[in-house]
A and B are shown apart, each in its own frame.
Chain A
Amino acid sequence: DARVTQTPRHKVTEMGQEVTMRCQPILGHNTVFWYRQTMMQGLELLAYFRNRAPLDDSGMPKDRFSAEMPDATLATLKIQPSEPRDSAVYFCASGLHPNTEAFFGQGTRLTVV
């Protein structure tokens, strides 16, 4: 069945290490979002793409975060270097058109120690 797939599901890493999270959007969806969810801040938009082009990444700390879509079947979110405050659940979501339903993956639970 069609669903957004995120890997890894869980990641524990040491402070200073690089972290790469991957997302496979639903085939045919042209909009991809990256969100970070914490208890304190809720679901924060980090970046989003339309037709693989980044439209807005103002929610990301630019010095350490980067988001790309190498092709239509893969979106990546990288953190380098990682810090303990980056510990959160990171969600990827995709949509068929802008302003329509976004389908979420199961998330990557990141712990930076």
Chain B
Amino acid sequence: QKEVEQDPGPLSVPEGAIVSLNCTYSNSAFQYFMWYRQYSRKGPELLMYTYSSGNKEDGRFTAQVDKSSKYISLFIRDSQPSDSATYLCAMSGQGKLIFGQGTTLQVKP
């Protein structure tokens, strides 16, 4: 079993929809939780960063962490075609950064 589980999708939604992406994990040592976005043939880039449990909002993006359930989520409001990409959750405990498999999102105009 992988330390971080993420449904690879693909996920297809119409423009303007609310998108919900999530990951589960098994390692209680994880304290730092991130979401990266990766466009085709590019390296991943950090989208959101949170420490421990709670919510964080940045524009149309909201990240949630529930450590008691070992579950993290990323919500995208008013999704745009430019949001079409692969979204990877990532977690870190003692400096070791582990990624989920990534969910491929397509937002159709």
- Let me know if B32 is at the binding interface, CB within 8 A: yes
* B98 interface contact, C-beta 8 A: yes
A-facing residues in B6-44 (Cβ within 8 Å): 6, 8, 31-32, 34, 42-44
Partner of B95 from A50, A101, A104, A107 at Cβ < 8 Å? A50
Chain B interface extent, by class? 20 to 34
Which residues of B have CB within 8 Å of A55?
Answer: 95-96
Also in contact, A98 and B98, with CB within 8 A (given A43-B44, A106-B43) = no
Bound-complex Cα distance A107 to B102 (A): 17
Q: Which residues of B contact A35 (CB under 8 A)?
A: 99
- B75-109 with Cβ < 8 A to chain A: 88, 90, 92-102
Q: Which of A4, A45, A93, A107 lies in contact with B96, CB distance below 8 A?
A: A45
- With both beta carbons as reference points, the residue of chain B lying nearest to A4 in the complex is identified as B43
Closest CB of chain B to A1's CB: distance in Å?
Answer: 14
What's the least CB distance linking A61 to chain B, in Å? 18
Selected contact of A42 from candidates B46, B95, B96, B101, CB within 8 Å: B101
Chain A residues near B95 (CB, 8 Å)?
31, 48, 50, 55, 98-99
Please pick, from B49, B96, B101, the residue contacting A101 in the complex, using a CB distance under 8 A: B49
Offer 9 A-B interface pairs, CB within 8 angstroms, sorted by A: A41-B101, A42-B99, A43-B44, A45-B97, A45-B99, A99-B92, A102-B90, A106-B42, A107-B43
Contacts A43-B101, A48-B97, A99-B93 given; 8 further ones with Cβ under 8 A?
Answer: A4-B43, A42-B88, A91-B44, A93-B97, A100-B32, A100-B49, A101-B49, A102-B46
B interface, CB within 8 angstroms of A: 6, 8, 31-32, 34, 42-46, 49, 88, 90, 92-102
